[in-house]
Amino acid sequence: MSGFKLGTKEIAAIAVMGALATIATMMFAFPIPATSGYFNFGDAIVMSTALIFGPVVGALAGGLGSGLADLLGGWYNWVIFTAVIKGAEGYVAGTLAGDPKTRTINKTIIAWVAGALVMVAGYFIVQVFMYGFGAAIAEAPFNLVQMLVAGVVGIPVSIAVKDRLSL
């Protein structure tokens, strides 16, 4: 990433995809009582963004968009955790995916799985400290399903879009 500079296309992608992540997170939020968290579809946008635009745009759009959803939704104690976890998810997935023009489906799947593990593990660790092991275990399956949705949406979207963008 040495010498990486955000150009107009990257800044626009961060803004648009971050806004979409906020909307997808807030529009379909289903509460999980054990941790006061919620199941949502925002990770489908975070994953799509990382796979299409790469690690920096994926991290910034995912972190800022998802963190903003927590802020606007009233989950104030989660804003920073979410921004860091979703940013890390986007960065890891985007980094492992590599160049979208030469990427194989296997590399895309590995990137999705790694990003998913970052998200699930990140929330699990924070929830253990905030709510205890039992509550963290109770939410983990929801996070896994959330990341399954992210892959089912993000992988085909990234494949369909990769040939249509001149990045």
Report pLDDT digits (tens) over 125-144: 999 999 999 999 999 999 99
Q: Which two structure tokens, joined as six digits, stand for 14? A: 């961060």
Residue pair 60/87 in contact (Cβ under 8 Å)? The answer is yes
Amino acid at 140: A
**Tell me: the pLDDT tens digits for 73-114?**
999 999 999 999 999 999 999 999 998 778 899 999 999 999
- Determine the pLDDT at residue 18: 98
CATH number of 8-162: 1.10.1760.20
Return the closest-CA partner of residue 115 out of 50, 24, 37.
50
Q: Which two structure tokens, joined as six digits, stand for 101? A: 């023009």
pTM of the predicted structure, to 2 decimals = 0.93
Write phi, then psi, for 127 (nearest 5 degrees): -65, -35
Split at pLDDT 50, 70, 90, the class of 55 is very high
Is the pLDDT at 68 greater than 90, yes or no?
yes
- Determine the pLDDT at residue 167: 58
Residue pair 1/51 in contact (Cβ under 8 Å)? The answer is no
SS3 31: strand
Tokens 């249509």: give the residue. 164
